[in-house]
Amino acid sequence: MSKQKRPAKGPRSSKPLVISVAALVVAALGVAAFLPNRKAAAPNNQTKAAASTVQDSATNSTTTSTNAAAPDAEPESDIDKAVVHITRGNQLFAAHKFNEAANEYRIATTLNAEDEDGYYNLGLALAHAGKLDEAKKAYETALKIFPDYVEAHSNLGNVLVKQGNLDGAMAEFETALNLDPNHAATHNNLGNALARKGDMAKAIPHFEKAIAAKPDFLEAQVNLGNAYLLLNRTEEAIQQYAAVLSKDPTYEPAQKGMMRARQKLPAR
């Protein structure tokens, strides 16, 4: 039976890692390679366009933990044993050993099949390892256990984007936002999906909401700048890139965006 209310689990980091690692390049009516806030799996094999880059922000790419005894303590129950494997998986995930982390999370789910966090973590590791079909199943299982799992809806949407199912992805992002209207990473993800469909006018409000919810969200600010640039709103794009560079002068996507924007300015 699905849980109606998610029990307190252990501290969750509010900092989103990224589920994708590649930039999303968008042309006026098309897009190129992708993956948020980071990105884990390889992007779609689409043609690179020479316009702007819209980066995808993965919702929570951070793994979740469960309250339990220290991992070196002798586990007694299957649930305690599952926690040991979750802890090992988190350590491997942090070391970018995603296949090994997935193996640990998979063992944890066999020991504690009612823990949605185990399946969520498994989905993250598999997505980072590029195993999108398996990641999709893991997120879907987490959602069967706890249908209101915002991060699972959002990261499932990222997987669907990478599989080319934009309509399915947007449905997941919208579900996540119905549950948490101020979820910054999901607004950014939905904006990216709309940008992939060439609908910059609808993408912009979601980038704006992502920034309003998380003012230091550099990826969303660059995405907003890129969307402005694609709509020939060059001065507004420059303002966004400048705002990012004032916070992090070394942020490469903003540097590249600023360069493209300045090239579009009329010669003086």
Mean pLDDT on 191-206:
95
Position 13 in a domain: no
Residues above pLDDT 90, as percent of the chain: 70
- pLDDT tens digits for 36-69? 332 222 222 222 222 233 444 555 566 666 554 4
Number of domains the chain contains? 1
Position 61 in a domain: yes
Q: How far, in Å, CA of 81 to CA of 69, rounded?
A: 10
Mean pLDDT on 172-195:
97
Given this model, what pLDDT does residue 266 score?
A: 82
Token couple for 186: 């999901």
Given this model, what pLDDT does residue 76 score?
A: 80
Q: Is the pLDDT of residue 219 over 90?
A: yes
- Paired residues of 39 in beta bridges: 19
Q: Is the pLDDT of residue 74 over 90?
A: no
Position 6 in a domain: no
Position 241 in a domain: yes
Position 1 in a domain: no
Entry pTM: 0.76
Mean pLDDT for the chain overall:
79
What band does 82 get if pLDDT is binned at 50, 70 and 90? very high
Cβ 192 vs Cβ 65: under 8 Å: no
What band does 268 get if pLDDT is binned at 50, 70 and 90? low
Position 5 in a domain: no
Given this model, what pLDDT does residue 16 score?
A: 32
Position 135 in a domain: yes
What band does 4 get if pLDDT is binned at 50, 70 and 90? very low
CATH (domain of 51): 1.25.40.10
Q: Is the pLDDT of residue 137 over 50?
A: yes
Half-sphere exposure (Cβ direction) of 140: Cα atoms closer than 13 Å: 10
Position 3 in a domain: no
Given this model, what pLDDT does residue 53 score?
A: 34
Domain holding 197, by residue range, is 19-263
Cβ 113 vs Cβ 91: under 8 Å: no
Q: How far is CA 235 from CA 148, 188, 212, 228, 242, in A?
A: 40, 22, 20, 9, 10
Burial (Cβ within 10 Å: 0-12, 13-18, ≥19) of residue 180? middle
